[in-house]
Each structure stands twice: as structure tokens, then as C-alpha cells.
Amino acid sequence: MKILITGSNGLLGQKLVAQCLKRKVNFTATSRGGNRNPDCPSANYLPMDITSDQEVRAVLKAVEPSHVIHTAAITNVDHCELHAEECELTNVQAVGILFQACKELGIHFQLLSTDFIFNGEKGNYKEEDLPDPLSVYARSKVDAEEVLKSSDYTNWSIVRTIIVYGTGHNLSRNNIVCWAKEALQKGQEMKIVDDQFRAPTWADDLAWACLRICELNETGIFHICGPETMSVYRLVERIAEYYGWSKEHLVRLSSKELNQPAKRPPKTGFDLAKSRRLLGYNPKSLEETLDLI
């Protein structure tokens, strides 16, 4: 098995690199521009622009991976809402480029997707539930999935996940758990929505599952997230309670009060039965991970 990782400078990409190194899995890490992860050996890194058909084909032919794990995407939901063309290029067209090259070279293609493809009316979604996207970002992920689903090439997997958290090097974006830990410790005011429900996912668990799918040569759709669905407000409360920090600076907000450009699904969360059964996936609880990040 030889893995090629896209988006290796991102949080999940860095966790995949760490697990490949730990488990002695042959890998090549790629991102646009230089390597920003000091834990990734320069010998294992290549720059690659996923929107360039020529560059993608040249890298895949040079590396000859057995599997591509495609983590690179624009995941800032409001940015996508305001920059739809950029979102389409990176989140959909690039998937088409990568997937076509993988098809021609006989490579397994794994796409990272999101709970946001659902409208959030019922929660606890199964892999076969029908998407109903509420935002430009969500639509881009549905369209990216459709690139794979509509193909006669079946050597692919889709990994849908929810609020990924953890620490990494030189990350362009923070995540809710790390932000909350820092703000709560300092006693800073935090305005948190209490009407959005999610199952936060430890990045290390997600990376393990992505590699496990490749190791087992599984195909199809897998739901991978944390074991509990909770409101975002309750998530922050639980972090405060774990460390014994004050909750007096927490301010409850509704989604309407935030007035964000992109609409969010109110309640997601995944049914993990398939991933537990086929992969042996057993995610850690929020509290089990807090001292590990």
C-alpha cells in the first residue's frame, strides 16, 4: 500500500502523515506550495495544485500510489457562500481531475465529505440517507460525491465527517475545541450557538478510519465522527467542566442571531453502525481526547 495525501498541510492531512510515519506506511504528502508540517520529512513531500490537470497527472504518474486520500478543500462555509466560483473550482472540479486520473491509473480514490450535505432535520444520518444541501459549500460536496457515484469506476470511498478537531502545525484555521480551551482558560467571553447539534470528531480517529478503509480495500460511503451528538454550546460547557474552568463568560446565541451568510443544518450526527462493523471504528469521547490535543 502506498498512500498519496492531498491537503497534507491541513489538520487531517497532518494526522494522516503522523499515522503513516508511526505505522511505517509508504506515503507521499502533497499540498499547494511548500511543506508547512515540520513533522513531515521533505523526502515525502511534493507540491501539487489539485486544480491543475497537468500537475495532478504528473505527480500521480511519478509517485504511483495505490490509494489517494483527498482531504484538500475549502471548508470555510461562509467563504464558500460568498465565493461560489472558487468553491466550485476547488471542491468539485478538482475532484473531477483527481478522480479521472485515478480511474485511468487504477488508483483507489478516497474523498472526504461532510455532514453538511444533509438538511439537519432529523439527525443520526445513515450512509444511504439522501442529501439535501442548504449552502454553496454543502452543494459543492454533494456534487463532488456525485462525480464518484455516477462513474462506472467503483474503486472509491467517501468518508463523511463532522466538526474535526485537534492540534497541528501552522494551520490556517482554528477549530472549536482548541479555540474553546484557550478562551475558557483565559476567561474570555465566548458567544456560542445552542441550536446547532453536532458530533465532534477527533482528527486522530478520523485519520485512523481513512487509513483503515485503504488497508481493508473497502469501497463505498462511510460515516466517521465522534460517538456523541451535542449542541455546540454543550460542547464548550463540557470542556469547561472537564478542566474546572468557569462558564460565566459563555453567552448563548441562536443561529439567527449570528446572521452568518451560509445556512447550517440544525442537527446532524451519524449512525456509526457500518463503520464499527466493517472497520472496527471505536471513536474516543470528547473528554478522552482533551488532554491529547
Mean pLDDT, residues 163-189: 94
Domain ranges of the chain: 2-167+200-227+268-292, 176-195+230-258
What is the CATH architecture of 2-167+200-227+268-292?
Answer: 3-Layer(aba) Sandwich (3.40)
Per-residue pLDDT at 50 exceeds 90: yes
Exposed / middle / buried, residue 79 (Cβ in 10 Å: 0-12, 13-18, 19+): middle
Mean pLDDT, residues 183-205: 97
- Residue 148 CA to residue 95 CA, distance in Å, equals 9
What's the pLDDT at 218? 98
What's the pLDDT at 213? 98
Mean pLDDT, residues 59-76: 98
Q: What is the enclosing helix (H) or strand (E) of 208?
A: helix 203-216
Per-residue pLDDT at 173 exceeds 90: no
Stated pTM of the model:
0.98
Per-residue pLDDT at 198 exceeds 90: yes
Query: What's the mean pLDDT when you consider all of the chain?
Result: 97
Instruction: Give me the half-sphere count of Cα atoms (radius 13 Å) on the Cβ side of residue 53.
Output: 6
pLDDT in tens, 201-252: 999 999 999 999 999 999 999 999 999 999 999 999 999 999 999 999 999 9
Per-residue pLDDT at 3 exceeds 90: yes
Q: How confident is the model at residue 16 (pLDDT cuts 50, 70, 90)?
A: very high
Q: Considering Cα of 201, then 203, then 209, then 210, what sign does the dihedral take?
A: positive
Q: How confident is the model at residue 172 (pLDDT cuts 50, 70, 90)?
A: confident
Mean pLDDT, residues 155-184: 95
Mean pLDDT, residues 111-123: 98
What's the pLDDT at 293? 87
